[in-house]
Amino acid sequence: MKALDSTYFEFFSKFILRDLKSDEAMTMTLNGEETFFARLSNAKVRQVTNIHQAHIDFNFIKGNKVMSYNMPFSAAEGDMIIALKKLNQAREWIETLPEDPYLVRPKFYGVTKEETLNILPKNEEMLGVVLDAAAGVDLAGVFSCGDIVRATMNSEGQFHWFKTRNFYLDYSLYNSNQKAVKSLYAGSIWDNNELRRNIQDSQHKLSLMDRPSKKVERGEYRVYLAPSAVGELLGTLSWGGVSMGAHQRGNGSLKDLWQKKKTLSPQFTLKEDYSLGLSPRFNETGEVSPADLLLVEKGEYKNFLVSTRTANEYKVESNMASDWESMRSPVVTTGDLSREDIYKEIGTGLYLSDLHYLNWSDRETARITGMTRYACFWIENGEVVAPIEDLRFDESYYSIFGDALERITNFSEVIPSTGSYFQRDVGGLRVPGVLLSQFKFTL
């Protein structure tokens, strides 16, 4: 697909940028993909689609005013005509807009090119292995693979290119009672044996779901949160939890940590680490974030994410975060709890594989609420006794990653983003499991 070629995007961008006048500036951002998409149900293919799409977002600046617009990008000759026509329209419309007091102007942020294009088996081969490994079980989910591009160029000469090729199988297994186990197999290097091990592990958990469910009364229990559950917690923490702008406006959820009135557990270290290769370091304006940025080190505040717009508004230093100031490539440091010792260390309590419906219940105290989901079990004397009925929890990050944090696993899992609303997402995280001395359930 020509639209996902770096040489052509650079040529196209320079052609449009040459038309700018001396008092005008622009940033152009490309989002594109070539994706094979298959929907599965009962371990059979129900839908197959090949998606080829790209679009360009334009940030047009004149004086202290800014206007944003976009267009599909097919790499056809007509694209240049459409882009110039839109630019002329923008020149008219921008005159009616107010000035932006915190405008982020384009600068030269360098030139970078990053491509991770490992050779994968043919789509039908990978899908065939999935169906073979799932023979005899009720597997439902989505298999997706292909190339994703993010790129940006501006009128100051900055040019950044990021292209990756990856896959994911996001699936659930169901038993005859329609109880489910959810799992994910994803990456950029395909391994038939690893896929089979993943599905076999899910089948083992599903066999445990055949036991009668146990109703657990509300209260506080020892809890192990698997990496998938920890990933959900980090996702919610990104909603203002580590945003400097949110804290400056008074609605940040870790205010006491920021003001150093509270700390988290000395076992807990959280950082942005772009060595995962799941997300480009550059943001929407082409600014390049640090390759490694500590947010919390051994329980103490180090940095929050600061966009240049926030920096302009509150006179603080930018660390080139995205406009949303959310984590794009978070990593939690591992500990010393081995996989083999998890049940024994729980003793009597709960093993939670997944959480969902997470939201803030009280931002001021960093409290969140949510539900258990899929393969969650009651553990007694270090042994799995029964799956549990769904529970609602309400707990604070100051407890989860603070006072109640007993152990962190010595392994972690890479969990790429599987979002595909309008387009496939980039980004992801690497997180371990955590053992908590107490976790509060309210319903």
Give the per-residue pLDDT at 235.
96
Helices and strands per DSSP (H, E), number in the chain: 10, 18
Least confident of 9-23, 176-190, 321-335, 378-392: 176-190
Token pair in block for residue 2: 């020509």
Report the run of H or E that residue 383 belongs to, with start and end. Answer: strand 383-387
pLDDT band at 228 (very low <50, low <70, confident <90, very high): very high
Mind listing the pLDDT tens digit for each residue in 387-401?
999 999 999 999 999
Structural domain 2-206, CATH architecture: 2-Layer Sandwich (3.30)
Determine the Cα–Cα distance for residues 385 and 130; give it in Å rounded to an integer: 30
What's the pTM?
0.94
Spell 366-378 as b/e; 16+ CB within 10 A means b: bbbbbebbbbbbb
Mind listing the pLDDT tens digit for each residue in 397-423?
999 999 999 999 999 999 999 888 889
DSSP-assigned letters across all residues of 37-52? EEEEETTEEEEEEEEE
Mind listing the pLDDT tens digit for each residue in 77-103?
899 999 999 999 999 999 999 999 999
Domain spans, the chain: 2-206, 219-441
